[in-house]
Structure 1
């Protein structure tokens, strides 16, 4: 009669998981002035909003929750991104039954099953991290959209004022902050 042996199998897995998410859009600024002049106006507004200029000419702001906003004032592109990482150290142990004391094939099948479980858990944690980063990014986009619309409106208004001044003598400027309307009367 055969005896069943109990084989204790353990497996560990260490991974560093990094996830990120992002979106790219374009600022809605009318082509009133030459691109370089509009970019200079935009850069001034971005500086006032807490953005910092980088060597590559882009303006960047990173929020405390890890969301980074990158704006290219010449092209008018906005890139918003967020990311996170986590070091995973997973361990599993299992006892399997074998019909021989040193049954290598049973031991190897048990180890493969444990590795598959660990890989599945890494995938689940990666998906959870990705969902967290996406939620964080989506929550930030609403506020950011309002802020960038306000900046775009200021840049457009200043560009209109400068264009009007280049066309003739500005007689009157009236702005309605609630409706966002701007009226400029120019004597040519």
Structure 2
């Protein structure tokens, strides 16, 4: 008799447990559905806010010539920065016999190479093509900082680019941080760098 009672109690507990598990699973499903619905609603609200902000911004720019000019210059500077980053996107691992475009705007004592894609993006023509098998110095590009003045009447920006890099060599142990400074001119009409000056060496883009 006692064992039957124990079995009955155990069965009730098991049934209650299954019921509770099922209940909590249903609750979790409902919560998940509510969260998903809330995310959809939030996304719609955010899109509405973005659309309103875009319309208001366009209206403001339309009615404010100064703001329109400022935004145009900001966009041109962003494009100039992107082109600058492309220009200083360097390859520092070269395979034997691999041909790359040599950037002659750089210090002759430090052979550094930019991809053809970078040259195309910036509009810079190559001065020479050469086969690279090995070289003593390797310069790894870190980043680029750009300071610029407002464009002149012809849409030409002037400024300074500071390129931060790390130099390693078989001639010394470890790495050395290095910063090169370039004076430049940038044509916002063609979105190209048209002149660089580095340590007295002038490089002018030729169409």
TM-score (norm 2): 0.27
Kindly indicate whether structure 1 or structure 2 has the higher relative contact order, using CA contacts under 8 Å at least 6 residues apart: 1
Return the index of the structure with the highest Cα Rg. 2
